[in-house]
Amino acid sequence: MALRFEILGRFNRARAAKLVLPHYVCQAPLFMPVGTQGTIKGLTTSQLEEIGCQIILGNTYHLALRPTSELIDELGGLHKFMNWPRALLTDSGGFQMVSLLHLADITEKGVTFQSPVDGKPMLLTPEESIEIQNRIGADIIMALDDVVRTTITGPRIEEAMYRTLRWIDRCIKAHKRPNEQNLFGIVQGGLDPVLSYAIGGLAGGESKDSFWRVVAQCTAALPEDKPRYVMGVGYPLDIVVCSALGADMYDSVYPTRTARFGTALIPEGVLKLKHHAMAEDTRPIDPSCACMVCKTYTRAYIHCFVTKDAMGSQLVSYHNLYYMMKVHFSVIFNTEANLSRDLHTSIIEGSFPEFVCNFLRKMFPKGDVPEWVCNAMEVAGIDISSCCDTKFHSALEFPHILGRDDFNQLIINQEAKFCRDHLFITRTQKDEKHS
């Protein structure tokens, strides 16, 4: 069995879970850094273990081009190739239908790309995507889906939804290593709440109000005993909101990409290390952070070379990923014990609302929490009135966010039985860069 998923605790919609994979036992909610070609730029796999990374994401399309899946297979699989003992996930290559649309031609057979490496055409079918991922050997592999931007409306959205369903059948049939690799299906359908399980295409330009509503609809309807993965979401605030709504897994290039531009993640939001005010600041990036960078270097030191030298981006990347893995999912309670508890533990112990409120107070000390966050927390059943001055709506004002019974009826009506038999994730569409 390639995957075992166990829910350890709940707070309303939020779940704390254990994800047992062939190479690692993971705790969820969890964030996965993106190593498009089997590497996180500037960081070693030993450093990623130190940081607390549980799963690294690689990209099928890019790995197939270079160094090629055949070579990776000959050398013992991606785990051995990159010397990574923990879990791996490979994307199907479907995202490139959007990020490389000017190079792609999509048909029922598959998608034909013009290689950015040598200009030659490359046909990626559902069968080929799975074959490549079987050779790469990740713990979790993704079905090839027909990806469209959320800003697109009309018949193209429905076409993508039904094609994604047809392709998943082909992916299942092509999967040759079901006992070693777990195949995740992908939800498509844009922002239309009527298109069955239509939640694909998030974080691709839609409003935050639309973003949280489709996540809420998805988590209310998808199987309780399966992990829920929102692809491409990496902003800390978004992860807290999605976790409150019942999502479990996330990935994004955001922490490492923003590090290369000299921006550090801190509880209050972001810190622009390139700013001239940093030139004489002898404090660490985050005085409350226990990472190697914050214990060793000052803002002034990093300011000197943050975007001019490889070490600068390396240090900020290390800190940002540490923040995402540990500090972001922790909260210092103002108690006599002054305990540090992570998000996973706060759900199990029933202190998740305190975690959320503390997180929001630090990020929005004036109480100006965005209205979309307040509304999402209302639907999630989390009382944030103590840290939120924004007037939020009653959950009764969101009748279009379907409950499980209504959602199941839609599935029956659209003959999408697969939705209740397999794992599901939501496909998001951040602009992709190598990380």
Task: Judge whether 53 is annotated as a binding position.
Answer: no
Which member of 139, 146, 251, 286 is catalytic? 251
Determine the residue type at 417. Answer: K
- How far is residue 156's CA from residue 131's CA, in Å, rounded to a whole number? 28
Task: Judge whether 95 is annotated as a binding position.
Answer: yes
Task: Judge whether 294 is annotated as a binding position.
Answer: yes
Task: Judge whether 419 is annotated as a binding position.
Answer: no
**For residue 364, is it left (φ>0), alpha (ψ between -120 and 50) or beta?**
beta
Helices 155-174 and 126-136, packing angle to 10 deg: 50
Work out the burial of residue 345: count CB atoms within 10 Å of its CB; fewer than 13 is exposed, 13-18 middle, 19 or more buried: buried
- How far is residue 248's CA from residue 30's CA, in Å, rounded to a whole number? 6
Task: Judge whether 93 is annotated as a binding position.
Answer: yes
**Which DSSP symbol is given to 29?**
S
202's tokens: 């998030």
Task: Judge whether 92 is annotated as a binding position.
Answer: yes
Strands in 280-356 per DSSP E:
330-332, 340-342
Task: Judge whether 188 is annotated as a binding position.
Answer: yes
Torsions phi, psi for 317 (to 5 deg): -60, -45
Which member of 91, 146, 248, 342 is catalytic? 91
- How far is residue 333's CA from residue 245's CA, in Å, rounded to a whole number? 23
| 321 within 8 A of 53, measured Cβ to Cβ | yes
- How far is residue 377's CA from residue 330's CA, in Å, rounded to a whole number? 19
- How far is residue 170's CA from residue 188's CA, in Å, rounded to a whole number? 16
Closest to 39 measured CA to CA, from 292, 323, 317: 317
| 228 within 8 A of 219, measured Cβ to Cβ | yes
**Which DSSP symbol is given to 324?**
I
Strands in 166-324 per DSSP E:
182-187, 228-230, 249-252, 263-266, 269-272
Sheet holding 121-124, edge to edge: 104-106, 111-114, 121-124
Catalytic residue list contains 91? yes
- How far is residue 433's CA from residue 37's CA, in Å, rounded to a whole number? 11
H or E element, residue 111:
strand 111-114
Task: Judge whether 289 is annotated as a binding position.
Answer: yes
Task: Judge whether 414 is annotated as a binding position.
Answer: no
Catalytic residue list contains 251? yes
Task: Judge whether 91 is annotated as a binding position.
Answer: yes
Closest to 216 measured CA to CA, from 402, 30, 424, 353: 402
- How far is residue 347's CA from residue 14's CA, in Å, rounded to a whole number? 7
Task: Judge whether 422 is annotated as a binding position.
Answer: no
Q: Which segments are annotated as binding site for substrate? A: 91-95, 145, 188, 201
Which residues are known to be catalytic?
Answer: 91, 251
Q: Which segments are annotated as binding site for Zn(2+)? A: 289, 291, 294, 319
Q: Which segments are annotated as binding site? A: 91-95, 145, 188, 201, 289, 291, 294, 319
